[in-house]
């Protein structure tokens, strides 16, 4: 019997604690926490008048504060206000969405109106992204090591604003590149590549590297990799010889003309995997595909040369069969093209 009397007492105590917590949150102007705490209960059918009053008051006060702050920020005309404007619009939309499931009578009683903020949010987001991208680029182009912390903060804000921003990975790469004590690359391949392939991939001229980067250090297992180059597939086509034969006639003379085409290609594909300076977080993966091609066209004849047209004679004089390059030489040529890809990536 003692336990039976104790249960209602515990429930009453819990209710008092809940009310007390809600009141404290409201008095501390933690309006969003009040809404998060009570809105699901009201949506599920709990029509406690005190809860509804707390939510209604919190909703209107929070929205009014955000609206006034947004107008004040816009009035400054400064570009740096847009990240905050975007976040405040998102907060207003979040509150509005949280109350959508309230019974119609409850919504009418608290003067709930559906807010159409999609256009405002999109415009604010675009301006916020443009500002954050420009600000980060300025920080990293002036004194990247001194500005690394502020640049990282801007990048994190950009990530919260839009994780799909097309400049996000490039900014993360630039931050990791410029703030690293030493730019370390790793290299792995699922295929046996010719000697010197890796050396060619990482042979940069000074003008290929961004200003302030002394050099690239390639290590088997770098402790703090800026990136790994991973070769996943190598495709080597056999040499193909295509031939087309036709006849030419001139003043009763004839000749058989054959156009030959030598073709061979090598494709190397894989990815560049970028890491943050702590080497624990992979920032992103950029796929690559480089191709080395060999193509040589030449013409031969059988018959009377005087029967050849001027076009055929031109081809005869300017073309001839040449030795087909080896797989190794074409792979090394592909390595040069991969080096160009990396140089472009480093300068983005």
Do residues 267 and 234 lie in contact, with contact meaning Cβ atoms separated by under 8 Å? Answer: yes
Give me the average pLDDT of each 10-residue run along the chain (348 residues): 37 44 91 94 88 93 96 96 96 95 92 93 97 95 87 94 93 87 89 94 85 80 89 94 94 93 96 82 92 95 93 89 93 96 89
DSSP structural state of residue 309: -
Question: Residue 260, SS3?
Answer: strand
| Per-residue confidence (pLDDT) for residue 222, from 0 to 100 | 87
| Per-residue confidence (pLDDT) for residue 20, from 0 to 100 | 65
> CA 157 to CA 309: how far, in whole Å?
69
> CA 205 to CA 219: how far, in whole Å?
19
| Per-residue confidence (pLDDT) for residue 14, from 0 to 100 | 38
> CA 168 to CA 287: how far, in whole Å?
16
Q: What's this model's pTM, rounded to 2 decimal places?
A: 0.71
Helix or strand holding residue 244 (H, E): strand 240-250
């Amino acid at each position: 019997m003692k336990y039976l009397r104790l249960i209602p007492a515990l429930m009453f105590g819990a209710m008092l604690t809940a009310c007390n917590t809600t009141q404290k949150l409201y008095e501390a102007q933690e309006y969003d926490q009040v809404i998060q705490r009570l809105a699901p209960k009201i949506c599920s059918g709990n029509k406690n008048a005190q809860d509804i009053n707390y939510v209604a008051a919190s909703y209107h006060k929070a929205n009014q504060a955000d609206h006034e702050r947004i107008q004040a920020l816009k009035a400054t005309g400064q570009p740096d206000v847009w990240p905050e404007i975007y976040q405040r619009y998102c907060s207003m939309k979040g509150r509005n969405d949280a109350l959508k499931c309230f019974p119609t009578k409850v919504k009418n009683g608290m003067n709930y109106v559906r807010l159409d903020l999609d256009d405002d949010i999109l415009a604010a987001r675009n301006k916020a992204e443009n500002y954050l991208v420009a600000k980060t680029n300025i920080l990293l182009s002036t004194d990247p090591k001194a500005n690394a912390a502020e640049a990282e903060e801007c990048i994190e804000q950009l990530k919260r604003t839009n994780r799909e921003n097309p400049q996000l990975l490039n900014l993360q790469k630039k931050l990791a590149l410029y703030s690293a004590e030493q730019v370390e690359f790793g290299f792995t391949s699922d295929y046996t590549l010719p000697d010197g392939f890796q050396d060619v991939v990482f042979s940069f001229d000074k003008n290929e590297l961004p200003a302030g980067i002394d050099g690239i250090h390639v290590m088997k297992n770098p402790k703090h990799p800026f990136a790994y180059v991973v070769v996943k597939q190598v495709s080597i086509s056999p040499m193909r010889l295509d031939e087309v034969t036709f006849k030419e006639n001139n003043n009763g003379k004839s000749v058989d003309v054959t156009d030959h085409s030598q073709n061979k290609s090598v494709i190397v594909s894989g990815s560049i995997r970028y890491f943050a300076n702590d080497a624990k977080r992979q920032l992103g993966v950029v796929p690559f595909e480089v191709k080395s091609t060999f193509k040589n066209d030449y013409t031969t004849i059988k018959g009377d040369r005087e029967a050849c047209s001027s076009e055929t004679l031109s081809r005869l004089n300017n073309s001839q069969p040449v030795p087909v390059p080896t797989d190794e030489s074409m792979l090394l040529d592909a390595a040069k093209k991969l080096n160009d890809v990396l140089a472009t990536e480093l300068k983005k």
